[in-house]
Amino acid sequence: MNKLILFLFLSFFIDAQENEISEAFVSTEYKQEEQQWVGQKLNFDIVLYSPTWFSGTPRFEIPEMADAIIFKIPGSPLPGRMDKNGKEFISQSHSFAIFTRKAGELNIPAFTVEFSIAQSGKEPLRVTTQSKVLELSTLLPSALKQKIFITCEDYTLEEQWDKNIKDGSFKVGDSLKRTITRTCRNSLAMLIPPIDVKTDKNFSVYPASPKLNNSMQRGDFSASRVEVFNYIFEKEGEIILPEIITYCWNPTTNKVAKSILKKQELKISPNPLYKNSQESIPLQEEKFNFLYLLFLSPIILILIFRKKIIQLYKFRIDQYKKSEAYEFKVLIKDFPQQSTREQFLSLDQWAKKLSLKSVAELINDFGSIELKNQYLALSSSLFSEQASPFNSSLFIKELVLARREFLKSQKQELISNKKFLGFG
């Protein structure tokens, strides 16, 4: 009889505990302000509620969106308590930042949230649930409707030259390096629009890959974009480097900040050592002979069959653009300019061309120690206050070697299979 009473008591206690565990839930907290601007840093919170206490670190599957960028703000969650239907719940509030890319109505879809609930005398229970759909709207400043601008606070625009542009000691063939730096608060480097420096008939401009830097301290984002332009002077005379105008919308003051880099007037002197590439070389008359006809024959054949050649060329180009080699070439080219999140997406998209689940699989099996260390640094560099230094050039260099080893192993495996089947 006593055993029966004990059994019933324990069954009741376990059922009650499981009911409590099942009552864990999540809420999305967001306050729509009267005026919210496109590109402005907006905040919302995901709050976890547990009838017991939390165990471990929660996981958030933040969605990728074309019209918005979402980040979880690093740091410890804000603890709290609440009563619901006479029951007490422990809470954790996790902060997120969102930057919209275009004005208007925008829905942030619900995303998966996983967290662990502690149980008395048992392993923690993993709870999987969904956040709420977030509806928000942002405005476009009327004064900037036809202009390219950035929404941020404390915007600065600066330039540096590698030579003294006031002394006028430039000659044809000389070069001039210009570095333009823009910084702002509560924005992201990827949202700072690029500067368009146009080429003139008297000079050429060669831009270098921009350097994008992001940091965060106490929930405030800081960003900078550094762009380098190399000017090559090709003709003598007076030239004008046009002024550069940038616009910033300050969401705190609701004012436009117009920043200008003044135009520069330079006088380019002749350079006797510089050979003008536009000088023409007189052509000598040649007699029409058999060798000349032999030279023209391939050209005539190309003209006759040009349609088929063009079709074949386009087909080869299309096939190449679908290949792993082309995607890897694009990855290497774009990687230094991308954000950390875009870098991860590009890496995993390319890895699928190699029939791998992710780039981590390639790195673990074929990567060097340097590559693995750089991949760990990249993983922790997304607005982490304690991020390890990440060397983009070293990462790409080691990734090229890992890819080479992977392709070599695939080739050897193919040869082994042919030999096994009797084709070797």
Q: Which amino acid is at 288?
A: F
Same domain, 342 and 377: yes
Q: What letter represents residue 185's amino acid? A: R
Would you say residue 297 lies in a domain? no
| 44-54 burial code (b ≥16 CB/10 A, e <16) | bbbbbbbbbeb
Structure token digits, residue 411: 């080739």
Q: What is the mean pLDDT of the chain?
A: 81
Do 117 and 44 share a structural domain? yes
For 147-165, what is each residue's pLDDT tens digit? 899 999 999 999 999 988 8
Q: Helix axis angle, 359-366 relative to 340-353, nearest 10°?
A: 70
Shared domain check, 252 and 188: yes
155 lies in the same domain as 119: no
Give the residue from 80, 110, 138 where a domain finishes. Answer: 138
The pLDDT-based confidence of 249 (bands split at 50, 70, 90) is: very high
The more confident residue out of 135 and 22 is 135
pLDDT at residue 361 in the model: 81
Note the pLDDT tens digit of each residue in 186-234: 999 989 999 988 888 888 888 888 999 988 877 678 999 999 999 988 8
Domain end marker among 138, 164, 185: 138
The per-residue pLDDT for 296 is: 63
- Tell whether 374 and 334 lie within a shared domain: yes
171 and 99 share a domain? no
Q: Name the domain count of the chain.
A: 3
312 — pLDDT class (breaks 50, 70, 90): low
Q: Where are the beta strands (DSSP E) in 133-281?
A: 134-138, 149-151, 153-161, 170-171, 175-185, 203-207, 211-217, 220-233, 237-241, 244-250, 255-261, 264-269
Residues 167-189: pLDDT tens digits? 767 888 888 999 999 999 999 99
Please check whether residue 212 lies inside any domain of the structure.
Answer: yes
CATH code, domain carrying 180 = 2.60.40
84 lies in some domain:
yes
Same-domain status, 161 and 88: no
pTM: 0.58
Claim to verify: residue 264 and residue 166 sit in the same structural domain: yes
pLDDT band at 333 (very low <50, low <70, confident <90, very high): confident
Q: Is 307 part of any domain?
A: no
Confidence of residue 292 (pLDDT cuts 50, 70, 90): low
Is residue 286 a part of any domain in this protein? no
Q: Is 400 helix (H, G, I), strand (E, B) or coil?
A: helix
Q: Is the same domain home to 198 and 149?
A: yes
Is 305 within the bounds of a domain? no
Residue 283, pLDDT above cutoff 50: no
State residue 409's pLDDT score. Answer: 85
Residue 280 lies in a domain: no
Is residue 301 a part of any domain in this protein?
A: no
- How do residues 293-311 score in pLDDT, each as one tens digit? 566 667 766 666 666 667 6
Domain that holds residue 348: 323-420
Are 201 and 161 contained in the same domain?
yes
Residues 105 and 172 in one domain: no
Question: Cα dihedral sign for 108, 114, 380, 371?
Answer: negative
Q: What is the reported pLDDT for 305?
A: 66
Better pLDDT: 412 or 258: 258
Q: Residue 277: pLDDT band by 50, 70, 90 thresholds?
A: very low
237 and 351 fall within a common domain: no
More confident residue, 192 or 359: 192
Residue 92, both tokens: 């954790």
Indicate the residue among 84, 103, 138 that finishes a domain: 138
pLDDT tens-digit readout, 29-73 = 998 888 999 999 999 999 999 998 898 889 999 988 888 999 888
Which residues, including other chains, have CB under 8 Å from residue 188's CB and lie 6 or more apart?
A: 69, 99, 214, 221, 223, 339
- Residues 94-106 have pLDDT tens digits of 999 999 988 999 9
